[in-house]
Structure formats: C-alpha cells, structure tokens
Structure 1
Amino acid sequence: MTARTRPAVRLTVLVDDTDTWHHKPMCSEIVHRAHRAGLTGASIFHGMEGFGGRQVVHTTRLLSMADDLPVAVVIVDTEERVRAFLPQLEELDIEGLITLEPVQVVGFDGAEDDAEGDQR
C-alpha cells in the first residue's frame, strides 16, 4: 500500500454542551449546516473536562459541575470550502473558540480517490 497525501484544513469549533441555537444543541446545528453546505464530513467529540475564557473548570467527576462540558465539532475539507463555510458560523454568534489548522489527508490505494470523488 502506498500512502498519498493531499492538503486540507481542519476547522474545530469548541462550545459548551449546553449552548443552543433555536432550542437545538449548537454542536448539532453546526453539523447540519456543514452537511447542507456539502462539506466532506463533520464529527462531534464530547469532552469530559475542560475550561475556557471564564477560567471555570467543568468536569464529569463532580455531579454539581456536570453541565457546560466541552464539545468539539471537527470538520476537514479543502481550505476553499472550509473558508466558504465560515459565514455560516458567524450567523450562529458562537461564544466558543474556532480554529483553522492546515492538515494532510492521508489516503491508501483507492481510498483517497473515493474521498475526492465525494467533494463537489
């Protein structure tokens, strides 16, 4: 097997699990917007412990502090497509952290060709 790589961008949106948009979880809204925008994929990762700008540690270990846990929404696609999606996030008025990082997508044999075929 030969690994082939191609450049991409990873968009990560960090929010609290209690953040909402029109009574829906913010993280789900981001994923659904990414899907409607035709991005290659999006995943939600739930954190067990974390803190942000307010410097308050939230953790699952203390029942009284089991809310406002960190959630990361991760999207990987071409830089052009990710940057075109950013206005969708701006509309949501997200209070969490949003980062963009260059990454390399690795494909083996025909896997990369299949992934590129999904991109519009």
Structure 2
Amino acid sequence: MPDTKDARILRLFIGESDEHEGRPLYEAIVLKAREMGLAGATVLRGPMGFGRSSRLHTSKILRLSEDLPLIIEIVDTAEKIESFVRAAEPMLGSGLVTLEKVEVVRYGHDAGLE
C-alpha cells in the first residue's frame, strides 16, 4: 500500500434551499473552503432524507422536491478543517456537522495533503 497521510473528512448536512447572504449555502461553503485553501470540497445531492424535524424531503413528491438534502464533504488536515469549521460556523444555522479521521491514500498524481 502506498504511504498514507492522516486527514479529516468534514461532512455538512444541509438543505438545498438553505441560503447565506442571498446565495445558496452549499455554494457559500464551497467558495469559503476554496478561499481558505482547503484541498477540495464536493457537494452531493440526495434524492431523499429527513433531519431533526422528521420532515421527509424527497424527489418523488413534487411539492417537497424543492429542498432536497445535500451533503458537503471536505477533506484536509485536522488543523485546516478545524480552522474552516470556526470560520464557517456563522453560516451553518441548523445543519448537522460531522468529522471523521481518514487516511488519504492518493491525492492528485504525485502530491499529498500538505
């Protein structure tokens, strides 16, 4: 197995209709991660889900399909992720935030996380 690097994966669970300062929240979060020089971010759209309110969000029911669940995944070093969480805190509202230790096996052609 190639050399691995310890890192963290941050997951932010939000709704598609969530906003921050007039723009979609997922966009504001990804742009903030990019501005802070994090290794990368990905937004995943879920076809179905529910959260703290237990309200079902699904693409199968037209009236509920306007607020589908989104997960934003960001991977970087523990220090960079912790700094990002502090900076993004004012944006997050009622979203769920999780953090896990991960091992990065490969990042790009010849680079690892710095």
TM-score, reference length from structure 1:
0.87
5+ residue gaps, structure 1, are none
How far did 1:28 drift?
0.5
How do 1:1-120 residues align onto structure 2 when only pairs under 5 Å count? 2-107=1-106, 111=109, 113-116=110-113, 119=114
Measure, in 1, the Cα distance between the counterparts of 2:92 and 2:45.
21
- Larger radius of gyration, structure 1 or 2? 1
- Unaligned stretches of 5+ in structure 2? none
Does the CA-based 8 Å contact 1:15-1:94 persist in structure 2?
Answer: no
Deviation digits for residues 23-80 of structure 1 (CA, Å, limit 9, x no counterpart): 1000000000000001111111111100000001110011121121100111000001
Give the number of aligned pairs. 114
Write out the 4+ residue segments of structure 1 that deviate beyond 2 Å after TM superposition.
Answer: none
**SS in structure 2 of the partner of residue 4 of structure 1:** coil
Equivalent pair of 2:58/2:64 in contact (CA under 8 Å): yes
Structure 1 residue 4 displacement after superposition: 2.2
| Partner Cα distance (1:93, 1:78) in 2 | 21
Aligned-CA RMSD value = 1.7
Percent identical pairs in the alignment equals: 34
Q: Is the 8 A contact 1:44 1:71 kept in 2?
A: yes
| Counterpart secondary structure, 1:3 | coil
What is the rounded CA distance, in whole Å, between the counterparts of 1:54 and 1:67 in structure 2? 16
